[in-house]
Structure 1
Amino acid sequence: MSLLLQYGIIVSAWILSLLMILVIPRQKRRLAMVAFLFKQYITCIFGHIVVELQLLAYPVREFAEVNRTSFAYEYMAFPMTCAVFNAYYPSHRSGWIQFGYYVIFTTVLIIGEVLLQQYTDLIRYVHWNWFWSWATIFLTFLMTRAFCVIYFGTMRGARYI
């Protein structure tokens, strides 16, 4: 795949991530912002650990001189998806529906990652596979949701969850 097309995918990821702001309901924007920032924080840590241990590589990336991770994925696309995840989380539904919500969001992200891994140079599995990505994404969704519940649960009268 040409380098120009791969950078086009990166730009598209930025544009789609920014457009996701439009689907977040006004009353859930504070929750979405907290989820976005927390997800950026933990994704930054996990992303750097995985890259430094040479489990994953991002051969084509923005800011290549500064950062060996994918800036678009780690700092925008993934956190924005988590913001939408939390804004629409089915907190008043059964545990199975909530679990399915985690599984669906995680699986959709992994399908996209696997396609990028197979057909582009945007991500390369070195000592990694799709299952490890699935597990870490699931875990970070879970951690972010727990953080939001605790954060907003400690605020008196908060109705964001």
Structure 2
Amino acid sequence: MERAILWVLFFIGIVLLFFSLRKPPIKDWILIFLLNAYLSAFIGHIVVKEKMLKYPVRFLSEYFDESIVYEYLLFPVVCIYFYQTTYHSRYISIVFQCVLYTAGLTVIEVVLEKYTDLISYETWTWMHTFISTFIVMIVVRIAVDIINRLGKE
């Protein structure tokens, strides 16, 4: 059952990625995707190595201890949509939307942790997920804004 869920999530991620890259500025979307994947993989690797959580069923399990579907595809794609929906927003709206996106991802993770073998919390909690997801999304949002401002100078 877990493998089927992984394949469905992978397919959803690919479809969402395709649709997220259909409108300009594509360079921003790719930059967001890559920055988010880098940060989430970096944090995910540390968390798994410290045995705070584990992924009993995952793609390429002989090569990766982390969830590559989430860290390299789903979370970066969600971050693209977050940036797109906050592209012209004010700071308070950006923070509010980030809380909403983060809450949605956290709820999905908690449900998957409770009812599947895709993720297993050891010392990790939903609050760790919420805080780390929020921080990564805000950091990526700020970094891309800074890069764009510097590029205009």
Length-normalised TM-score, structure 2: 0.93
Work out the CA distance in 2 between the residues paired with 1:69 and 1:119: 19
Q: 2:44 aligns with which of 19, 43, 47?
A: 47
Which stretch of the first structure deviates more once superposed, 22-31 or 7-16?
22-31
Match in the other structure for 2:102: 106
Match in the other structure for 1:143: 139
- For residue 91 of structure 1, report the CA deviation from its aligned partner: 3.2
User: What is the letter of the counterpart of residue 123 of structure 1?
Assistant: I
Work out the CA distance in 1 between the residues paired with 2:99 and 2:22: 23
Kindly report structure 1 stretches of 4+ aligned residues shifted beyond 3 Å. 90-93
Match in the other structure for 1:75: 72
Q: What's the CA shift string for 1:14-47, capped at 9, x where partnerless?
A: 1111111314551132211100000011111000
Work out the CA distance in 1 between the residues paired with 2:46 and 2:31: 23
- For residue 96 of structure 1, report the CA deviation from its aligned partner: 2.7
Gaps of at least 5 residues in structure 2 are: none
Q: What aligned pairs does 1:8-157 form with structure 2 within 5 A after superposition?
A: 8-20=4-16, 21-93=18-90, 95-156=91-152
Length-normalised TM-score, structure 1: 0.89
Gaps of at least 5 residues in structure 1 are: none
Aligned residues: 152
What is the RMSD of the two structures over their aligned residues, measured on CA atoms? 1.4
